[in-house]
Amino acid sequence: MLIICKTPQQKDLVSIASGDYLISQSKYLEAAGVYGKSSKSFEEVTLVFLEHGQQDALRKYLVSKLSTLPKKSIMQRMMIASWLIEVFMSKLNTLDDALSTKTEANEGLEARTAEQLDSIREEYQDFVDRYKNDLDKKTTYDIISSHGREVELLYFASCVNDNNYVLTYWIQREKWQEALSVLKKQVDPQIFYKYSTVLMANAPRDTVDILTRQSNLKPINLIPALLNYTEHTKVSISDNQAVRYLSFVVDRLGNTEAAVHNTLISIYANLPSRDESDLLSYLRRHEADPKYDADFALRICIETERVQSCVFIYSSMKQYYQAVELALKHNDIELASLVADRPEDDPTMRKKLWLAVAKKVISQSTGIKP
């Protein structure tokens, strides 16, 4: 019939008549496709499908109608797209409910239902991919959440690149591996800065694995997360992930920011172990061109009673007398002697230092205070 129509108006009249006839024959799905391309009242068509409980036909009609609406009909497109989300969620829940009531007598039905569920889910995903720009994010989140559809919720959020939503969703549910799977796909530094504290606290090793693979991060912005992790984590230095990350940044990436170096020194100095070997190793590696604030490092080492490190920092600042005096105060003659030999170009200073060492040795031998 449409073949002999000469004008759009004639084609429209034929489409409406064809749709009406199909409805009279209870062929709702066929009618939905025809009505979708006609000018028949939107309210009238949807009411027919609703009154007859024809959700599949309604879905088909709404998709067809949406495809014909001009882009400028923003509100109408958004309304139909949102309605379709509601229809999709209701259909998926209906199919899930049918599967949950399976019995041995209807295994064939169960298989068909499962197949239909996969088909509708795929149809939903195709719909979201195509019409995501017609969907209001908040409205869509609210609709999907009200139906408890987690998979569909996260698919939509991922489709519209709402990484904050996806990460927050998994973090609120303490699903750390799921959150990390999302994080590793990100390139926006702000995402890493925002979520690093909670992820370092709950999945530190995996988080640092991801951080070390990012080339566009500013380590200084991660310092609060690293300090928070260290403050609340009691692990050996070899397992400390804040140390691992900062060492990578300093030694592998060559970071020269004083705040980064100061943070690493602070963490070394505040670790529970009294072993200073790692801190001293860091100080020696950077003795020729220190990037840390020497006054800050000295203050931290004094507060945490890291004597060997304090002596080393005093020496690197050429404050040899203070270095020897501190070593002797802690009865470390050997350390004081090593420092006394350092000012090779200043014999007067060397003599003064060795005299202080000698006095301490005599005092220990005789019990007489110098």
pLDDT for residue 167: 95
What are the domain boundaries of the chain? Answer: 10-42, 78-94+126-161, 218-317, 318-363
Give the chain's residues under pLDDT 50.
1-2, 5
Up-side HSE of residue 193: CA atoms within 13 Å toward CB? 10
CA 268 to chain centre: 27
Q: What is the DSSP letter of 249?
A: I
Task: Report the alpha-carbon distance of residue 166 to residue 161 in Å, rounded.
Answer: 9
- For 84, phi then psi, to 5°, come to -65, -35
CA 219 to chain centre: 16
Q: Which amino acid is at 230?
A: T
Question: Nearest CA to 244 among 235, 275, 305, 284?
Answer: 235
pLDDT for residue 1: 47
CA 145 to chain centre: 22
227-246 residue pLDDT tens: 999 999 888 888 999 999 99
Task: Report the alpha-carbon distance of residue 142 to residue 162 in Å, rounded.
Answer: 15
Query: 309-347: b or e for each residue (b if 16 or more CB lie within 10 Å)?
Result: bbbbbbbbeebbbbbbbbbbeeebeebbbbbbebbeeee
pLDDT for residue 103: 58
Q: What is the DSSP letter of 250?
A: I
pLDDT for residue 102: 63
Give Cβ neighbours of residue 364 (< 8 Å, ≥ 6 apart).
331, 333
The helix (run of H) or strand (run of E) holding residue 245 is helix 241-247
pLDDT for residue 60: 94
